[in-house]
Amino acid sequence: MDLVSYFIHGTLNGYSMTPDINNPMTLPPSTLSQPIPLDVDGDMKIDLLGITPGSQDGSDSTFQLWQNVWNASAPHSKLFSM
């Protein structure tokens, strides 16, 4: 019977089921932004493009590139360079 009411009146259990496009509900993100993996310089190593967590809330939230500089033959090679 509730589905019949929905199709006739547009309500289900007393709640309107039509979307309110003039007053959208905003929710906070469930996680921090994730970097975008890409190969910037064509060396077949994955680089990262993203925003640092500390700069997301400010007006200076510019994209940064983490370039993959890992060298397998070096014993203590860095993984990324900003």
Residue-wise pLDDT tens digits, 6-54: 555 556 666 665 666 777 778 787 777 788 999 998 989 999 998 876 6
State which residues form the domain around 67. 30-82
DSSP 8-state class, residue 82: -
Q: Is residue 44 part of a domain?
A: yes
Q: Is residue 41 part of a domain?
A: yes
Number of structural domains found in the chain: 1
CA distance 26 to 40: 34
53 contacts 64 by C-beta, under 8 angstroms: no
Q: Is residue 17 part of a domain?
A: no
Residue type at 46? I
Model confidence pTM above 0.75? no
Q: Is residue 2 part of a domain?
A: no
